[in-house]
Amino acid sequence: MNTDPDVVWELFAGHYFMFAFLASLGVLQVAVSNVGTRGLWLTPHAGMTRWLGIAFVLTGIAVFFLQPLWVDGPWAAGSVEADSLTRSWGKASWSELAGARNVNDIHGGLDGIKQAMWFSLGAIAAFAVSAVVGTLSVNIFASAENSGDGDQTDSEANGLAGLESRSYIENLPGSFANFRADIGGVWRSGLVKADRWSLMNVLFGRGGSSE
């Protein structure tokens, strides 16, 4: 590679994070618009939110794979087919676009662990943006789409059901209170079920029943 691997890594990391963020944001918007979880909608309308999500996904894919055409990187035209160690810095050509991002991780490319890390950060950022913008969407624009009766019937709901009429931030305290109240019983029942299938219990249980 005719450049510093750290420079290549920073370039790839930024591009991959943006790709993961846009793709995650788009998939999340399509999902929440289909189930009516309007507390995470980016717009006050389900159809608009769904189409916006599809646009985010397509934009993320297109920008990530087409960026080498207008952004300088380790994919200069004429060097893509070479080993990643001997590539030149510049813009890629259409004919070499498919292999432009095929750079070995020891030369600045992203290995599997780093891809998982950046994807997770992108997904978390996408959820955070949905939660913040969803708060504005519910508090400011929901009155144009929802009736007052609907808000009253769902006012006591928490968890995913609460997000149908409230923002994530407004829904969080009640959901957390329910979690604290229920986690003890869930944990104990889970331990009881797990103990039924423990090796010692199975062995001694069978021995006792045979007698």
Pick the more confident residue, 173 or 18: 18
pLDDT per residue as tens digits for the range 177-195: 665 666 666 666 766 666 6
Helix axes 112-136, 168-196, angle to 10 degrees: 130
Q: Read off the pLDDT band of 163 (50, 70, 90).
A: low
DSSP secondary structure, 64-107, as one string? HHHGGGTS-BB--TT-TTS-GGG--SBPPPGGGGGGTT---GGG
Average pLDDT, integer, range 4-20: 88
Q: Does position 196 have pLDDT exceeding 80, yes or no?
A: no
Q: Read off the pLDDT band of 211 (50, 70, 90).
A: very low
Which pLDDT score is estimated for 150? Answer: 46
| Whether the Cβ atoms of residue 99 and residue 81 lie closer than 8 Å to each other | yes
Q: Does position 21 have pLDDT exceeding 90, yes or no?
A: yes
pLDDT per residue as tens digits for the range 85-142: 677 788 888 888 878 888 877 777 888 898 999 999 999 999 999 988 888 877 766 5
Pick the more confident residue, 62 or 197: 62
